[in-house]
């Protein structure tokens, strides 16, 4: 005989909480699906992902290329900024005209280079490429041929603006006593970059280095026994004495992964000028390099196929 259920028997706690658990589980699943959908929406491009060879990726500094549904191209690339890698997406037509520039990621100084995300800056790149920085020493270099082009009428290099040489903006995340001392030495004109009228770099002029190694190098140079002395050049700083930033820049240059910034031997050309961010020439140069390299990739590689 089946036992009757007692309607007054206490309900177990887990039964009372079961509807709440079910609701929480459903909400969690819905949230996860929503996040995945949002992430997919941010990374989906309405076009066809094109193959990019390792050689082209290295030469042009690009990571992905799409042919969009309207026939234009979206080229994603990166360049070294002031204190981070700046990543951007450039949309161009087959003739090399830029329709949009989007900064995908950056970690530059908020009040300076971080302003590169603003439409007031990126909208300047709409139009015919390649571009040059107005009033700055900037040379457009073709990654494929190595041909260099300087803005017409800018044969003489413009001196860096005062805000571009502000030592307080150098390596702002480093608040150590050593970094602060370097900034003061720059302000006092005691670093090579200060002597050369360049933005702050932390290498010292050889006579200011009193280490035993530096003294020995100066004696060798004075005796005509170093390569720089024998070549009739100024005393060279050895690679090991360079800052980490300078060593990295040298390695990139040797690997042909950087765009040359010297106007020596450059052909004068009519280039589209854009204004650099105030006090952030290095970040502005990084974005301009991405745009120009994207232009050369579209016109030299994609149009040639």
Give per-residue pLDDT as tens, 220-263: 777 777 776 777 776 666 555 555 555 565 555 555 555 444 45
To the question of pTM greater than 0.75 for the whole model, the response is no
Q: How far apart are the first and last CA of the chain?
A: 86
Q: What is the dihedral of CA 66, 273, 168, 234, to 10 degrees?
A: 100
Give the burial class of 235: count Cβ atoms within 10 A of its Cβ; 0-12 exposed, 13-18 middle, 19 or more buried.
Answer: middle
Residues of the chain with pLDDT under 50: 35-42, 155-157, 159, 162-163, 259-262
CA distance linking residue 67 with residue 190, whole number of Å: 51
Condensed to tens digits (0 to 9), the pLDDT of residues 179-188 reads 787 777 777 6
- 23 cis-preceded (ω within 30 degrees of 0): no
């Amino acid at each position: 005989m089946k036992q009757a259920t007692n309607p007054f028997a206490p309900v177990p706690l887990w039964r009372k909480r079961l509807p709440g658990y079910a609701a929480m589980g459903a909400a969690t699943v819905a949230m996860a699906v929503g996040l995945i959908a949002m992430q997919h929406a941010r990374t989906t491009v309405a076009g066809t992902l094109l193959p990019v060879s390792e050689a082209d990726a290295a030469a042009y500094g690009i990571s992905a290329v799409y042919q969009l549904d309207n026939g234009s191209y979206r080229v994603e690339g990166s360049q070294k900024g002031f204190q981070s890698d700046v990543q951007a997406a450039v949309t161009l037509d087959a003739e090399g005209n830029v329709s949009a520039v989007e900064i995908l990621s950056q970690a530059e100084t908020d009040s300076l280079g971080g302003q590169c995300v603003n439409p007031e800056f990126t909208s300047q790149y709409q139009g015919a490429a390649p571009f040059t920085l107005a009033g700055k020493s900037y040379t457009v270099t073709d990654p494929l041929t190595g041909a260099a082009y300087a803005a017409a009428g800018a044969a003489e290099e413009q001196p860096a603006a005062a805000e571009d040489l502000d030592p307080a903006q150098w390596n702002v995340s480093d608040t150590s006593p050593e970094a602060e001392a370097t900034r003061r030495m720059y302000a006092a004109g005691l670093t090579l970059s200060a002597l050369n009228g360049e933005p702050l770099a932390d290498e010292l002029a050889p006579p200011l280095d009193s280490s035993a190694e530096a003294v020995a190098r100066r004696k060798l140079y004075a005796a005509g026994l170093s390569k720089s002395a024998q070549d009739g050049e100024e005393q060279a700083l050895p690679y090991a004495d360079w800052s980490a930033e300078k060593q990295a820049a040298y390695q990139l240059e040797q690997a042909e992964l950087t765009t040359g910034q010297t106007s020596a031997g450059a052909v004068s050309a009519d280039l589209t000028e854009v204004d650099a961010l105030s006090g952030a020439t290095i970040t502005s140069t990084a974005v301009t390099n991405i745009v120009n390299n994207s232009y050369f990739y579209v016109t030299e590689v994609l149009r040639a196929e």
